Amino acid sequence: MQRYILVRFLQSLLALWVMSIIVFSLARMTGDPLDVLLPMEAGEGERERVAQHWGLDRPMYVQYGVFLVKALRGDFGMSWKWQGHSAMGLVIERLPATLQLAGVAIAISIILAVPFGVMTAVWKDTLFDSVGKIVALLGQSLPTFWLGIVLMWIFAVTLGWLPTSGRGTWKHMVLPATCLGWFQVAAMMRLIRSSMLDVLDSEFVKLARVKGLPEWKIIWKHCLRNASIAPLTYFAITAGVLITGSVIIESVFAWPGTGLLAVDAVRARDFQVVQAIVIVFAAVFIMVNLLVDVLYAYIDPRIRFQ
């Protein structure tokens, strides 16, 4: 068991290191940051001075070595766009907004997906099941940015019930959280339905019915508990996906989180902030997957590293 966990941990570190190389390389493909740091009429001497100040005149492998050493200490440098702010400081400042939005989206996913997934399995091949299949299909096929614009037009512009953007009261959170969690609702609902159908056909359910147990107790206590292994695994991964996948939704609704910060940083070619955001997102996702792997090892002792 210890060897299995150690190997998974080392693999996670390797994945994070590879991600650092990728983001470092891709960030520099967006263009020369000197074009953003300096006005168009800046002379060659001034460009050389600024490049030397920020270390942009060094070879690429030297720049990466400096970046990696500082990143290991949690130092991703100072922002080029937001003068006077450290890159990691900006990420930490915006991260609570993203976590709040992801938390509400996860709550919406659970509240809607669990009962609808169970009932579509119980009422298989009925009108309710057909509606559930349509909802799941639309949830996994509709682009989130399109859904966000449509919901904004209906509930904010036409009806005037909810604000269009920003972060403030609970009303500001309804539309972005719904759009962010919509795909996960559809995916979890289909997964719960499939797991429940397998459990409902098992022998212990037939035995429970023969013993005269109430139908609600058989479904919501015994069946759902045995069918929850696969959804729980998917839910653990979903938590990481919702945190790291909020870029589009935060851009559509101008939600002041790390996703919107990432878009602004890319547009400004602020390498420092882009690298800090991607590394933090990658670390969160990798940690969630590592936790799932470890839980697998404890839940099922038969799992071993091959």
Domains within the chain, CATH numbers bracketed: 87-268 (1.10.3720.10)
104 within 8 A of 178, measured Cβ to Cβ: no
Contacts 24+ apart (CB under 8 A), 137-142: 137/186, 138/186, 139/182, 139/183, 139/185, 139/186, 139/187, 139/189, 140/183, 140/186, 140/187, 140/190, 142/182
pLDDT tens per residue across span 138-197: 877 888 888 888 988 999 888 888 888 888 788 888 888 888 888 888 888 888 888 888
As a whole number, mean pLDDT of residues 193-218 equals 76
Mean per-residue pLDDT over the chain, rounded: 80
**Proportion of the chain above pLDDT 70, given as a percent:** 87
Q: Tell me the per-residue pLDDT of 77-97, one tens digit each, with 9 for 90 and over.
A: 888 778 778 888 898 998 888
Out of 234-238, 280-284, 301-305, pick the least confident: 301-305
